Amino acid sequence: MQTLQTAWGTESEGYYFKEEQGVSCMEVAEQAESIDNPLHEAAKRGNLSWLRECLDNRVGVNGLDKAGSTALYWACHGGHKDIVEMLFTQPNIELNQQNKLGDTALHAAAWKGYADIVQLLLVKGARTDLRNNEKKLALDMATNAACASLLKKKQGTDAVRTLSNAEDYLDDEDSD
């Protein structure tokens, strides 16, 4: 097999090269022209080595594609837990970015039924109170009981925390 170097661009810098095995020149040319957001593509495809290469080359972790989605959204949508975990190692990763449809990474993971990823997002601090353009919470989009249970449990603890904070506030006010 022949080794070829394919070009793929970053969001703000020129092009980087990646070696591929057994790819025709025609496929290389098509691929090089079509990849506008390499980090997003790596996340969609679950390609951890490509994702690492993008991050090593300082491709912006919170960059948005044409749909307004982040690489984290696509990793969650695709059920790529290893990609999600790698993205979580990046400083300032935006967990709650809403795309043009108003969906977040949590909406995507819940809709696709990836309870393990829903759990990771919740532990990391993803918000459960964000509604998409159809006024749906991630809980409303959950397609299985495991995701729904995790989201209900998180919303329940958030509600209790809010209530206890309100009670503390009232107690402070009463002591004056």
Q: Tell me the per-residue pLDDT of 42-93, one tens digit each, with 9 for 90 and over.
A: 999 999 999 999 999 999 999 999 999 999 999 999 999 999 999 999 999 9
On whether both 30 and 45 belong to a single domain, the answer is no
41: CATH: 1.25.40.20
Residue pair 117/109 in contact (Cβ under 8 Å)? The answer is: yes
- pLDDT grade for 176, boundaries at 50, 70 and 90: very low
pLDDT tens-digit map of 96-110: 999 999 999 999 999
On whether both 68 and 120 belong to a single domain, the answer is yes
On whether both 1 and 68 belong to a single domain, the answer is no
134 C-beta neighbours (distance < 10 Å), count: 10
On whether both 97 and 146 belong to a single domain, the answer is yes
On whether both 7 and 49 belong to a single domain, the answer is no
Q: Determine the structural domain holding residue 65 and report its residue range.
A: 37-174
Query: Residue range 131-146: average pLDDT?
Result: 97
**So what's the pLDDT on residue 156?**
74
Own/partner long-range contacts of 115-121 (Cβ < 8 Å, ≥24 apart): 115/144, 115/146, 115/147, 115/150, 116/81, 117/76, 117/79, 117/81, 117/84, 118/142, 118/146, 118/147, 118/150, 118/151, 119/150, 120/81, 120/84, 120/85, 120/88, 121/76, 121/84, 121/95
Of residues 63 and 165, the one with the higher pLDDT is 63
Lowest mean pLDDT among 25-29, 34-38, 49-53: 25-29
**So what's the pLDDT on residue 159?**
54
User: Considering its fold, how many domains does the chain have in total?
Assistant: 2
pTM for this entry: 0.72
